[in-house]
Amino acid sequence: MSQAAAGGNMLFSRMSLQDGCRDKQGLLSTIMTYYSHTEYQPTREQVERNRFVFFGLIRCRPWMVVPAGILIQFCYGSVYAWSIFNGPINQLMSADPSKGSAEVTFYIALGVLGLTGAVCGPWIEMNHPRKSGIIGLVVFFAGHLTSALAVHVRMMSLLYFGYGLVAGIGLGIGYVSTIDAVSKWWPRARGTASGCAVMGFGGGSLAFSALNKWLLDHTDLPLAFLILGSLNFAIMLVSVQFISPPPPGHNPDGVVVVDEGDRWQHTQPNALHAVAEKPSVGGGGALQVALAPRRQTLSVSLAEALRSRDYWLLYVAFLSNIVFCLVVLSNLPRLIDNLFGMGRKDPREPPMPAYIAVSIEGAFNMLGRVLVGVLSDALGRKAVFLLLLAVQMVVLVFVPVAIRADNFWAFLGLIWAATVCYGGGFGMIPAFLAEMFGVNNTSSCHGILLTAWSLASIGGGLAFTGIVNRFLAHGGHAYDERIYTVNLAWMLALVIVGFVCCLFVRASIRDRMFPALPNQILRLRVFGRVLRVLAVRNDHSRGSGGAPPTGGCRLRMRVIELEYLTRAEEQAAWEEYLALRAVQHRLMSEHTQC
């Protein structure tokens, strides 16, 4: 090869490498830009149009979005009644019905739901909720049509694609957009509003369990999917016409740091409206602190929120709260049959038909979403979330006891108690995120958090099924209680981890911003007050007769001290910190002007 040709090849390789780096950098920049702009900014004309709903014929009122959101979530909640289809689909399409191939469809759908929420969260936030709502319901309907075709031609892979992937994408878009749109209309009662909206999702299991059973008794599987898809499509298409975003200024512009009733407002009635750039919230970044006369807020970027350790601690706590019931939701009929019904060693009719138990479970799921949302408004998000995890720990300890005692009603009662906690976590989490990171980041943070739903449904479901299949492959029986004891043991360990993580979540922006001392090791809020753990240096001298050391040795030791601040001490330290931030901002402004 000539030198010119070799040089040309080297130049071409260098140019290709540079182009590849630029392409990679451009892709990364595009992703960062996409996750940096998460605010819906309508024009004046769009704001005027948003004041009317239902094709511009009715003036929008805040209460209208609640029943509309409930109906939309009710239709999406039909996914929770999937377990009614497992048996008939396995009998029709699986070579070995005992392997539970149809159950995988449920895991895929919820897994795709979470991933879709994470990917589409910023886009949902930046657009009108009716736009994303319509796209979600159309895709969900397409998933039902594909599922009808799949069971007609008896292709399990097509069913996974249709209901698992396609309908799962529709679920992710519609779920996030509807709940966040409803909660934004009620800034003073976000937990109640989001709980009411998510209540519909739990109610879907209650109603569609009975409807699915009726359809299976009176028609075949393909027609059942067509009827379900068409019914959901019609209800959601009408309901989404009542979904509209609130007007600008309806929500606080950021995270509320000091509310109207706080003593700061009384001691500083004419507080300077200032902007202090780059205070640290769990790892630095660009923030804005607004010291307003009536309401003090702090604007957190999405990047800040996602870098915060508190977000990921909450992620683990949320994941821990939903694994157990997700597995039970998709396997409850089989559990009842194997432990208390015809699948037992001594077959018998269960005290309650499985489909009725699933329907009642849906009722508790629905009740938990509203009840826990209301409680979180009154008692605080973190305290209620810790209570949910504590109840789940108790349930997981006593479920094996109920199985060994062959006590059907104790077993069901424990399952229903855990279901209240499961639904409650979904009901309060949008409000929790809005208060921690701001309403403009809710859809994005909520969408990414729902990937925990994906991990729980896919990972938890496959782990449960894998343990069951392993026992069966080694000569075990489906009624063997050891199968369920092993599964419940790893679930209990996960819930304990989630409880510990939730303890360390700094739920309020004040806790995340509270000034740390140089010798501080840890800071927690215990019973509403700040507890600091400090490593204080203490010099111990050793000389002859205890005299001051002339030739003796000096020992430097660190002593652990606990400092439990009173509310007055905490408030004084907080006000001093805010005053320092205001002074820093003023000095920076003067320096910039000079």
Per DSSP, the residues of 540-578 read EEE-GGGPPPSSSEEEEEEEEEEEE--HHHHHHHHHHHH
- For residue 374, count other CB atoms closer than 10 A to its CB: 19
The pLDDT value recorded for residue 104 is: 84
- Side-chain half-sphere of 20: how many Cα atoms within 13 Å? 6
**Dist CA 188 CA 103 (whole Å):** 40
The pLDDT value recorded for residue 332 is: 81
- Token pair listed for 505: 């979540």
CA distances from 400 to 390, 486, 492 (A): 17, 10, 12
The pLDDT value recorded for residue 271 is: 34
| Greatest alpha-carbon span in the chain | 99
The pLDDT value recorded for residue 149 is: 96
Cβ(146)–Cβ(162) below 8 Å: yes
Question: What domains are there in the chain, each with its CATH number?
Answer: 59-248+304-510 (1.20.1250.20), 511-593 (no CATH)
Cβ(124)–Cβ(443) below 8 Å: yes
The pLDDT value recorded for residue 97 is: 63
DSSP assignment letter at 349: -
- Token pair listed for 80: 């929770």
Cβ(262)–Cβ(84) below 8 Å: no
Q: Which of 452, 492, 488 is nearest to 110 (CA)?
A: 452
Q: Which of 144, 170, 166, 161 is nearest to 82 (CA)?
A: 144
The pLDDT value recorded for residue 100 is: 61
**Dist CA 318 CA 196 (whole Å):** 19
The pLDDT value recorded for residue 18 is: 52
- Side-chain half-sphere of 590: how many Cα atoms within 13 Å? 6
The pLDDT value recorded for residue 558 is: 67
Q: Write out the chain's pLDDT in tens, 594 residues.
A: 444 444 445 444 544 545 555 555 577 777 777 777 677 788 888 888 889 999 888 998 888 999 999 999 999 989 978 888 988 998 888 766 666 688 889 888 988 988 898 889 889 988 899 999 999 999 999 999 999 999 999 999 999 999 999 999 999 999 999 988 898 888 888 888 888 888 888 777 778 888 988 999 999 999 999 999 999 999 999 999 999 998 888 877 667 765 433 333 333 333 333 333 334 343 333 334 443 334 566 677 777 888 888 999 999 999 999 999 888 877 787 888 888 877 677 778 888 887 788 778 878 888 898 899 899 888 889 989 999 999 999 999 999 999 888 888 999 999 999 999 998 999 899 889 988 888 888 888 888 898 898 888 788 878 888 888 888 777 777 777 778 888 889 999 999 999 999 988 988 777 777 777 778 877 777 777 888 888 877 655 544 444 555 545 555 566 788 888 888 888 888 788 778 877 876 787 777 666
Q: Which of 374, 74, 75 is nearest to 200 (CA)?
A: 74
Q: Are strands 288-290 and 275-277 parallel, antiparallel or unpaired?
A: antiparallel
- Token pair listed for 478: 């489906």
The sheet carrying 529-542 orders its strands as 520-526, 529-542, 553-564
Cβ(430)–Cβ(195) below 8 Å: no
DSSP assignment letter at 63: G
